[in-house]
Amino acid sequence: MSRRVVITGVGVISPVGTGVEKFWSALQAGTSGIKPITGFDAAKLPTRIAGEVTDFEPTDYFDKKEARRLDRCIQFAVAGTKMALDDAGLNPAEMDLDRVGVIYGTGIGGMHTLDEQAAVMNNKGPDRISPFFVPMMIANMSAAQIAITFGFRGPNVTTVTACASSTNSIGDALRALQRGDADVVITGGSEAPITALSMAGFCSMRAMSVRNEEPTRASRPFDTERDGFIMGEGAGILVLETLEGALARGAKIYAEVVGYGATCDASHISAPHPEGIGAAKAMELAIKDAGLKPEDVDYINAHGTSTPLGDKCETLAIKKVFGEHAYKLAVSSTKSMTGHLLGGAGGLEAIICALAIKDGVLPPTINLENIDPDCDLDYVPNQARKGEVNVTISNSFGFGGHNATVLLRKI
């Protein structure tokens, strides 16, 4: 019999606040974290707004020399892990470090470093490239630096499945704990993609909103006037451990992780399957894995990026899986407030699902003003709602057709 797995700690760095209390309060209030970009001159870009993290100071967590040698994505990962460990009441000095794993997600890794060093190469030549360029840029280094910082010697894996990365990581962490590969796993993900090169690339794809004059209203999932996603940055990090271990040390428990489903559309490099087949299958697999029925699910934190095709296809997928129950459960997209953290989104949104269970609050989809006839579910429009929440789903879908779903349950 596989071991039961629970969430005992969370760490949050987000466009609406750093720290879980500030973050959760902002979401319940329907606060948008989308503003004009300040990190670089975005004047020449079609999209000049994003969800920047504005209250994170690296020197609160690292000395200046160390901070300079860590990409912003890695800084988020290590600082967020410290928050999650503190929240879980875990001290690495008192843990069996051989039994602590890190299974972590990021979509594009050290983009700040890549941007900066490309400019150095072009302007100053190859002999001026930093020897830290590669270790700061490669995607696995967030997981590696978490292990190096805290001494965790268990399984250490990085998942790179675009916007599904951290949800796949949570699912893989669940499996590692069920198998007995570790007793505690640090999971979730981070992203710091708000750079000139990254933004220009997504603008070239015409994937992002150009509602620059109304930044707080730009991310509007399921609304008829949605015109693309808004980039976000930050981290959502979870401490997963066995129920047995959590109970033995008297830990607080947010929720139990009970189901995981992963599929691929095998259809297109960036667009979702038009009939939502892969997304639907991922949800079906997660529900089956949990030993539950579709009608047991109370709330879905949707991928809901505010793209015309994506939101429509996810709605279609939900209807395929849940039938008439689709109209009875709540669905919301918190990306309306945080923007889209790419590979870090699933970690943040799994935390939201756990908090919804813990506090009995459904976070809203803000900016939902004009209902799309193709998006006709209960998206918790504009205001948070109180109510008992026992079973939640978090969906993440990525470029390449990657689909990942995790299911959480009240314990």
Q: What's the distance, CA 33 to chain centroid?
A: 15
Residue 317 and residue 280 in contact, taking contact as beta carbons nearer than 8 Å: yes
Write down the number of H helices and E strands in the chain: 13, 15
User: Would you list the DSSP string of 370-390?
Assistant: SB-TT--SB--BSS-EE----
> Which is the catalytic residue, given 163, 203, 313, 375?
163
Axis crossing angle, helix 165-179 with helix 345-359, rounded to the nearest 10: 70
Residue 185 CA to residue 152 CA, distance in Å, equals 9
Q: Which residues are registered as beta bridge partners of 300?
A: 331, 393
Axis crossing angle, helix 111-124 with helix 72-88, rounded to the nearest 10: 160
Residue 32 CA to residue 51 CA, distance in Å, equals 9
- Residue 27: other Cβ atoms inside 10 A: 26
> Which is the catalytic residue, given 340, 353, 375, 402?
340
Nearest in space to 88 (alpha carbons), one of 96, 98, 77, 80: 80
DSSP three-state, residue 357: helix
- Return the H-helix or E-strand segment holding 177: helix 165-179
Residue 297 CA to residue 395 CA, distance in Å, equals 13
Nearest in space to 114 (alpha carbons), one of 86, 177, 72: 72
Residue 222 CA to residue 322 CA, distance in Å, equals 18
- Return the H-helix or E-strand segment holding 337: helix 335-338
> Which is the catalytic residue, given 303, 313, 375, 402?
303
Residue 335 and residue 50 in contact, taking contact as beta carbons nearer than 8 Å: no
User: For this structure, is 268 an active site residue?
Assistant: no
- Return the H-helix or E-strand segment holding 285: helix 277-290
User: For this structure, is 402 an active site residue?
Assistant: no
User: For this structure, is 73 an active site residue?
Assistant: no
- Catalytic annotation, residues: 163, 303, 340
